[in-house]
Amino acid sequence: MAKIDYALIASQPEFEELLKKRNRFILPISIFFIIATLLFPILTGYTNLLSNEAFGNISWAWIYAFFLFIMVWTLVTIYMKKAKEFDREADEIIRKYREGNYK
């Protein structure tokens, strides 16, 4: 296989755009789930906010825990969808590179 010209691909506006898009997607969501997760031991350990019952005998602490589970599955689904979009753009860049459209 011929050596790939990484610098050439890296300098394409399409590539820079894809990179930016990816980071703009990953960063805020990552910050969100990190905070949501760390709030759990903080709220349960330092406050009584989650000790009251929410539904029947089930307290808010359990609801928060279940929320985090749902959050994981939701964010995974969102990622899968978004990643498909990125895949298309990445494939396009590879195709153009292989066809010699980048000079």
Give contact residues for other proteins (rule: CB under 8 A): 1, 4, 6-7, 9-10, 15, 18-19, 22-23, 26, 29-30, 33-34, 36-38, 40-42, 44-46, 50-51, 55-59, 61-62, 65, 68-69, 71-73, 75-77, 79-80, 83, 86-87, 90, 93-94, 97
CA 15 to chain centre: 19
10 vs 101, which CB is nearer to other proteins?
10
- Residue 75 tokens, joined: 């964010």
Please report how close the Cβ of residue 99 comes to other proteins at its closest, in angstroms: 14
Instruction: State how far the Cα of 78 lies from the Cα of 85, in Å rounded to an integer.
Output: 11
Question: Residue 61: which of 69, 71, 51, 70 has the closest Cα?
Answer: 51
- Report the nearest approach of other proteins to the CB of residue 103 (Å): 17
Choice between 83 and 101, CB closer to other proteins: 83
Residue pair 61/50 in contact by the 8 Å Cβ criterion:
yes
- Residue 8 tokens read as 């050439």
